[in-house]
Amino acid sequence: MHHSRPVAFVFDVQSDDIEGAARFWAGALGRTVAPPNPQHPTYRELSSASPEEPMLLVQSSVGHESRIHLDIETDDQEAEVKRLEGLGAKLLRKVKTWYVMEAPTGHRFCVVRPQRGELTDQNSNVWP
């Protein structure tokens, strides 16, 4: 048994201007930019309207065109990758602590460790 849920939409930005990118999206969406985490200098988090909505992140300096990707968080990454493969997704590679996958629709997405505390039967999907 494991849990998963969509946890974040990430605005991947080709340029290195993380401040400008975060400022634009915060202004466009009426959010504020959280203080940077020195361990993750190319990321900024935008404030949430509600704790239930997915986090909104901005990431600069990506090695591909700008796009939005989805992160799915789970308490068992191997089981979640296998489950998603069963639905038709392909595992592309593991990077640090996350798995990069490609959906049958062509979208890239990541399977990540829990980002906002414990996943429970109440706040997440439960998979047998």
CA distance 25 to 42: 15
Displacement of CA 125 from its chain's centroid (Å): 16
Site string (59-98) toward a copy of itself, x via CB under 8 A: ------xxxxxx-x-----------x--xxx---------
Quick one: which of 32, 107, 113, 120 contacts a copy of itself (CB under 8 A)? 107
CA distance 66 to 62: 8
Quick one: which of 30, 35, 63, 117 contacts a copy of itself (CB under 8 A)? 30
CA distance 113 to 68: 19
Interaction between residue 47 and a copy of itself (CB under 8 A): no
Quick one: which of 35, 63, 104, 117 contacts a copy of itself (CB under 8 A)? 104
